Amino acid sequence: MKQRIVVKIGSSSLTSDEGGLNKEKIVFFAGELARAHADGFEVLLVTSGAVAAGFRQIGYASRPKILHEKQASAAVGQALLMQAYHEAFSAHGVGVAQILLTRYDFSNRKRIHNAMMTIDELMRRGIIPIINENDTVSVDELKFSENDTLSALVANLVKASRLAILTDIDGLYTADPRKNPEARRIDRVETIGDELYRIAGGSGSSVGTGGMLSKLEAARIAMRGGVPVFIGQVLEPGDLRIALDGIGKGTYFETTAHALPVKKQWLGFHSLPQGRIAVDGGAEAALVSGGKSLLPAGVKEVSGDFHPGDVVEVVGPGGHTLGRGVVNYAAWQLQAVAGLSTEEVQRRIEVPRIEVIHRDEWITLQQVN
């Protein structure tokens, strides 16, 4: 069976410093991807660059910051971007197709299923899908982060054997290598914890490595879905294949988690929670490592206005997110019985199921290794 790989290339790797496409870079990356395609990989490309490609063409002196100006730039730039990819891949006899997605597409299970069927058919036909965010209709509060998150969601959706996020720095470092000569590259990561987020530029950090935080979050999402990740550079011919072989110029994020069913992917990464439930330590252990359902006895606090069948977020005693699940109670019902035993709950209210969240309707978002 062919291995599926998802490769994400950001704007800085495709455009010139003053704006507009760098055709030489696009030709180079197309060559790397075409070689992987010829080697038997099923290749999906997640690309940025539409706004950067279009803002000069539309007449702006610099990259716009106002939403409708960015959307207009993307409308022009997306056509230029696809034209450049079409010409570059055609030189290798490889066809390409454009797929534009938004957050809403992932939150709607029917829409993302249709997108998946399209992607499968394209790959069966030997076509490389080129996926980008639909910037002309996306709104800022729902946008993907430099398409890093989009690439992770796509990698999970297609059950990729690896996600390669290509950037201008050769991996994750212990400090910013541009400022600290003693910074050391982290070659392998098995668990993403608070220290890595601090290094990548999280809250309170003074050593951010420029855009690495969104890439680390993308790696976390992909790893939870059973997809290993490479974050690093592809600068010379053959570098992409080296990266896919595990000896590339970057950081490798490994995982022993299994691929998630589409339903669990939707629940964990695409659904829109309608409320939040805080649980005690015993309930946290039962949910995260015990494979158990959440019962009212483990509930400490309830917030939001949710109803049976809605998705809610569950947090532990420290306030950290444990996961998401489909709730069987209305918010007012759960507030009335939080912390009570099963017998007491049954005496006080009528609910179709005693479990607040059944284990079959739950996904843990803590890293699984």
Are residues 232 and 215 in contact, defined by beta-carbon separation less than 8 angstroms? no
- The pairing of strands 249-253 and 299-304 is unpaired
Q: Answer yes or no: do 223 and 297 share one domain.
A: no
- Pair 143, 301: CB distance under 8 Å: no
Q: What local confidence, expressed as pLDDT, does residue 141 receive?
A: 47
Tens digits of residue pLDDT in 264-285? 988 998 888 999 999 999 999 9
By CB atoms closer than 10 A (0-12, 13-18, 19+), residue 320 is: exposed
pLDDT, position 176: 79
Residues lower than pLDDT 50 in the chain: 141-142, 202-210, 369
Task: Collapse the DSSP code of 143 into the 3-class scheme (helix H, G, I; strand E, B; otherwise coil) and give the result.
Answer: coil
The count of structural domains within the chain is 2
Residue 62 sits in a domain whose CATH number is 3.40.1160.10
Residues 66-96: b if buried by 16+ CB within 10 A, e if exposed: eeeebbbbbbbbbebbbebbbebbeeeebeb
| Distance (Å, whole) CA 187 – CA 170 | 10
pLDDT in tens, 155-180: 999 999 999 999 988 999 988 787 88
208 is a domain residue: yes
Do β-strands 128-133 and 162-166 pair in parallel, antiparallel, or remain unpaired? Answer: unpaired
What is the model's pLDDT at position 109?
A: 81
Interatomic CA distance for residues 76 and 54, integer angstroms:
5
The pLDDT assigned to 206 comes to 33
Global pTM value? 0.85
**Residues 310 and 229 occupy one common structural domain:** no
Write down which residue in 231, 263, 295 finishes a domain.
263
Q: What is the pLDDT of residue 204?
A: 36
Distance CA 85, CA 32 (A): 13
Q: Are residues 107 and 193 in the same domain?
A: yes
For 207-254, what is each residue's pLDDT tens digit? 333 478 889 999 999 999 999 999 999 999 999 999 999 999 999 999
Structure tokens at 108: 């709607």
What domain range is 346 assigned to? Answer: 273-364
Q: Which CATH number does the domain housing residue 328 bear?
A: 2.30.130.10
Q: What is the pLDDT of residue 16?
A: 81
Task: Look up residue 344 and give its two tokens.
Answer: 């007491």
Predicted confidence at residue 85, as pLDDT, reads 97
What's residue 199's pLDDT? 83
Backbone angles phi, psi at 348, to 5 degrees: -90, -40
Looking at residue 175, its pLDDT comes to 84
